[in-house]
Chains A and B, each alone.
Chain A
Amino acid sequence: MKPRRRVAITGVGLVTPLGRGLPAVAAAFGRGESAAAPATLFDASGFASALAAEVRDFDPRPSFRAPKALKLCDRRTQLAVAAASDAVADARLDGTLAPEELGVILGTSGSDLGAPELSRAVDGAGGAAAKDVPLFARKVLSGLSPLWLLVHLPNMTGAHVAIQAGARGPNDTVMTGWAAGLQAVGEGAAAVARGDAEAVLAGGTDSAIHPFAFAGFQQAGWLGGDGFVPGEGAVVLVLEEWERARRRGARVRGEVVGWSSGVVDGDADLERLARRAGAGEAGSAPRRFAGKGSAAAAGRLFAAHGPFDLALGLAAADTPCCVAAARGPWGESAVVSVRTAPSLPEGAA
């Protein structure tokens, strides 16, 4: 569908295995770098493959206005707050909006559950921890931090981003598997288009470098096969109402043309979603799927991968219309199409 109000992309924040910030990431991608290396976030040597694409030398602290919140943040939340903070800075958005005009819509997936903490809590119980529920209760109620649930609830990512950015507008957490981040971008664009928000911090965040994720991947037969390298990262875009962005002289990096989602079984389905996402609206202008080869370079970023490809599309100066598509193993899919800077009217770039 066509937005009622036009939606500009005025900021990009990327915290990824290929680096931080669009210029650095695009350059590393252009050089054909690969971030895959043995995992350091946990000892993965027991799995079929220990390779992971990690965000290196990451310090979340400077991105938190109130660092006390860090004790409540798992890795994906820390990455998201950093990417959101970078995106706000990139858009020079601070101070230009009332809190209720700014929304937060992020895609993510399941948490790492804090396996070491759980293990410490049931210390010494061995296999009985699983069989004897009263024993489990005694151990966990006295040995586990009361904050445990708050660290692992998926919507806490959006809560922390909203608290740090002072955003009281629409706040949604999308968990549609590998399509989640791109769907969040679509929902964010819709919120701006309908006037529910003047700007939305939209994107995805994930960190799949933990035992539960690896065990699931191995069981599914993905780990170690076919270039499958679990990764992590957060990509957040500032989606902003077009006229407002123009008025305040923001640098417009692109325009969201359309979005769609659905279950995809084959290329015909994907093409149908692309048409629904307005990919045809650029007429006969050349278009391409953004981010080809990005999984080989940056690993699988899961919920963040679609927005990652979209950002790479924004950095590519040679294509007027970019289509980012994400398709997961259960067919869950999303498409977002953007007009990139060279093709924007009125010299917006």
Chain B
Amino acid sequence: MNRQEIESRARGVVAAALDHPLDRVTLDASLIDDLGAESIDFLDIAFRLETEFGIEIPEDEVWKGAFDGVPDDADAIAARLAQLARERPGFAWDRLGPRPSRRELPRLITVRTVVDYLERRLAPESAPA
């Protein structure tokens, strides 16, 4: 499955789960801030992705790409965010405030996080043993 198809189907899943028209579900939309997701919606989206793509997704694995490896330390979080901001200019970074806590990091989860994850998961060499 190529990235374009993954993206199209993933956006459809997110749009259905969060009840938005497809054009609001852009790659850099934050699931929490822009699309109104709450904690159960992450469970719901993961379940829907499993059904849509015929895969099993271990707990929380989809979302980890957004902020994996960020230690629980204000300076380290700020430094990591600055780096991410250079990598992902399309995301509205200013909404996070100057020194976000680790608990705010799920706000970094975007539709792109989902598509990136799926692309890794569906690549032939990473098929589960």
Contacts and interface: CB of A to CB of B under 8 A. Distances in A.
B56 interface: yes
Contact of A68 (B36, B43, B50, B56): B36
Contacts of A71: 17, 19, 44
B40 interface: yes
Interface stretch (A141-149, A199-207, A223-231, A239-247): A141-149
Contacts, number: 22
A145 B18 contact: no
Nearest to B38: A68
A125 to B, nearest CB: 17
Given A71-B19, A142-B50, A66 B43 contact: no
B43 A146 contact: yes
Interface string A56-80: 0000000000111011000000000
A70 B19 contact: yes
* Majority SS at the chain A contact face: helix
Interface in A139-163: 142, 145-147, 150
Interface in B44-70: 44, 47, 50, 56
Interface string A114-154: 00000000000000000000000000001001110010000
Contact of B19 (A68, A146, A147): A68
Contact of A150 (B17, B40, B47, B50): B40
Contacts of B47: 145-146
A150 B47 CA distance: 15
Contacts of B44: 71, 145-147
B40 A142 contact: no
A147 B39 CA distance: 11
Contacts of B36: 66, 68
A70 B19 CA distance: 9
Nearest to A145: B47
Contact of A142 (B18, B41, B43, B56): B56
Contacts of B18: 68
A217 to B, nearest CB: 33
Contacts of A145: 44, 47
Interface string A176-199: 000000000000000000000000
Nearest to A144: B47
A67 B19 contact: yes
A146 B50 contact: no
Contacts of A66: 36
Contacts of B41: 68
A178 to B, nearest CB: 32
Nearest to B35: A68
Interface in B15-36: 17-19, 36
A199 B36 CA distance: 29
Interface of B: 17-19, 36, 40-41, 43-44, 47, 50, 56
22 contacts: A66-B36, A67-B19, A68-B18, A68-B19, A68-B36, A68-B41, A70-B19, A71-B17, A71-B19, A71-B44, A142-B50, A142-B56, A145-B44, A145-B47, A146-B40, A146-B43, A146-B44, A146-B47, A147-B40, A147-B43, A147-B44, A150-B40
The 8 tightest CB contacts between A and B, nearest first, are A68-B19, A146-B43, A67-B19, A146-B47, A145-B47, A147-B44, A68-B18, A68-B36
Given A68-B41, A71-B19, A147-B43, 12 more contacts: A66-B36, A67-B19, A68-B18, A68-B19, A68-B36, A70-B19, A142-B50, A142-B56, A145-B44, A147-B40, A147-B44, A150-B40
